[in-house]
Structure 1
Amino acid sequence: MNAPEPPDHVVKAFGLTGPAPIALTREWEGGWRIGEVVLSLVPDHPRAAWSAKIREDLYVDGLRVARPLRGTDGRYVVSGWRADTYIAGSPEPRHDEVVSLANRLHQATADLERPRFLTQPPAPPFTDVDVFNAADRAAWEDVPMRSARGAGFAEPTSPDGAKSIEMLKTLATLRKPVQAKPQLVHGDLFGTVLFAGAAAPGITDIVPYWRPAPWAAAVVVVDALAWGGADEDLVERWSDLPEWPQMMLRALIFRLAVHALHPRSSAGALVGLSHVVDVVRLIL
């Protein structure tokens, strides 16, 4: 679903002229293309400004990065909009390449500091950012979903929502302590990496989490198995990543928590996650 078309004062604030805006899709967060620039309405101002600042100077071998444009007054975000250079491509089911990209990207982000906003707990009125924040904590805190309950998230009432909570709590009993150090990672690479033939893959944003790098790779694998038609051998092909079974387990708990908490979750999404539950149980 696209954001409303960017207003004229925003277009002018980024110094843009030229053709009428063209609507883009999910990988651009429903943004609008004007020439070689994309304008996107941001859900969270601090995160958008942080991502822009990081992408401005981020260089990773074999990766195209959408670079931010500043407004005429030097800001990354103007009236809730950001501007980025357009990079060609669309998501493709090249799952191993996405995992490989994740590993290269997170080598480059390993020394970045933890943004202050990642330390803040979810708070009402809840946005999508709060949902993913609470779900992330659920996978790692001693009592899963404690942060969500403490923040006032409503317990899911749908049958599939209740089922996801039941599976989540059962899986949480299989967690073991991990030694991998947390760092800045991009936690939403599945379905957002752009491929254009033989060109290097590209990213349009960085969705930040403070978790071990193998966890972010595991999220890609969980998503690919659940909704991307990936073969189960994908799990084995990346099993040399540190503490892989536990990373897969925590990535799966994270996705089940998102399903339980997100108001737009569909019953069909749980079918794919249930399949991943069976796969992950075999490697624990």
Structure 2
Amino acid sequence: MTAVEPPEHVRATFGLREVTPVALGDWDGGWRCGDVVLSPVADHPRAAWSANVRETLRVDGVRLARPVRGTDGRYVVSGWRADTFLEGTPEARHDEVVSVSLRLHKATAELERPRFLIHQPITPWVDVDVFVAADRAAWEPVPLRSLKVGGMLPATSPDGRRSLETLTQLATLRKPVQTPSQLVHGDLFGTVLFAGTAMPGLTDITPYWRPPSWAAAVIVVDALSWGGADDGLLQRWSDLPEWPQMMLRAVMFRLAVHALHPRSTPEAFPGLARTADMTRLLL
């Protein structure tokens, strides 16, 4: 699928009329325009929220992409956002990504819960609703009950059904957790930028309202399942609060995404199933 170049009127509104866009690979379809990156927005409220937070947030040891407002003060213009460009690319530095997560979530601990995280997804379902539904499936008493009420149907492919079966089995191993929820970034794997010895860079914040150790567990699940991480990664962060239960819910979350997302592929399931087996041994 050919990437869509930011329209001329969008570039003009962000003050980039005379700059030729260059496609980037690590910014969710973003285009570099000099020192600014224009990126398509999947969800307007989340994009505006992230820009507003990143405008003033300070995180120890982390470079944050700052939003660039349009000439009229907007963060989002016709489905595009603008941010300062950061040097770097994602690398398999998994422990460092977990460390970024912990520092970031110290800084976001006082942020209020955005209203859009409270709302139940409604039809027609969009991409972001899949992740909202999957997140809730990992925590609600009966996984996917709210999903069925909302009218979304899980995948019927063999790997999709296996994901649901594994999810249901893991749900019986959950125990109540006491760690309080707060605003966390729930999608750090593959989105942290590294440039040699420079501080890690972060281009966006994908908001969830969960414990910080859950967000760290999602990174570990992703790294073990698809990032080629060594098995020791699972134990190296075991001193985080309620780690076995956070890993359990992180695996359930990713299993639900796999079962629900229309672009899930059969090749992604074996790594996830292996991580689920490793997590069972923690419990």
Q: TM-score range by the shorter chain?
A: over 0.9
The CA distance in 2 between the partners of 1:165 and 1:16, in whole Å, is 47
How far did residue 155 of structure 1 move?
3.0
- Counterparts of 1:62 and 1:43, CA distance in 2: 28
Provide the rounded CA distance (Å) in 2 between the counterparts of 1:68 and 1:91: 20
Q: Provide the TM-score with structure 1 as the length reference.
A: 0.98
**3-state SS of paired residue (1:184):** strand
Q: State the one-letter code of the partner of 2:41.
A: V
Moved more, 125-134 or 148-157: 148-157
Deviation at 1:2, TM superposition (A): 6.0
1:195-206 alignment runs, 5 A limit: 195-206=194-205
Contact 1:18/1:35 (8 A) holds in 2: no
Residue 213 of structure 2 aligns with which residue?
214
Give per-residue Cα distances to partners, 1:71-122, cap 9 Å, x unaligned.
0010101111100000010000000000001000000000100000000111
Tell me how many residue pairs correspond in the alignment: 283
Q: Please name the residue that 2:14 is paired with.
A: 14
How far residue 18 of structure 1 moved from its aligned partner, in angstroms, is: 4.0
Amino acid aligned to 2:9: H
8 A Cα contact 1:40 1:82, kept in partner = yes
Contact preservation (8 Å) 1:144, 1:169: yes
The residue matched to 1:57 in structure 2 has which SS? coil
Letter of the aligned partner of 1:143 in structure 2?
Answer: V
Report matched runs for 1:242-261 at 5 Å: 242-261=241-260
The equivalent residue for 1:149 is 148
Q: Which residue of 2 aligns with 1:278?
A: 277
Q: Note the C-alpha offset of 1:232.
A: 1.0
Superposed displacement of residue 17, structure 1 = 3.9
Give the match's secondary structure for 1:69. coil
Q: Secondary structure at the match of 1:68?
A: coil
Match in the other structure for 2:81: 82
Instruction: Answer yes or no: is the 8 Å Cα contact 1:71–1:78 preserved in 2.
Output: yes
**Alignment RMSD:** 0.9
Whole-Å Cα distance in 2 between the matches of residues 23 and 233 of structure 1? Answer: 36
The residue aligned with 1:234 is 233
Query: Distance between the aligned counterparts of 2:191 and 2:280, measured in 1?
Result: 27
CA displacement, residues 23-66 of structure 1 (integer Å, 9 cap, x when unaligned): 112x3111111001000110110000000000000111110000
Question: Using the alignment, how far apart are the partners of 2:234 and 2:156 within structure 1?
Answer: 32
Deviation at 1:20, TM superposition (A): 1.4
| AA matched with 1:78 | V
Q: In the aligned structure 2, how far is the partner of 1:223 from the partner of 1:155?
A: 21
Instruction: Tell me, yes or no, if structure 1 residue 94 matches structure 2 residue 93.
Output: yes
8 Å CA contact 2:155–2:261 kept in 1: the answer is no
Q: Is the 8 A contact 1:6 1:39 kept in 2?
A: yes
Instruction: Please list every run of 5 or more consecutive structure 2 residues that lacks an aligned counterpart in the other structure.
Output: none
The answer to whether the aligner puts 1:30 opposite 2:29 as a matched pair is yes
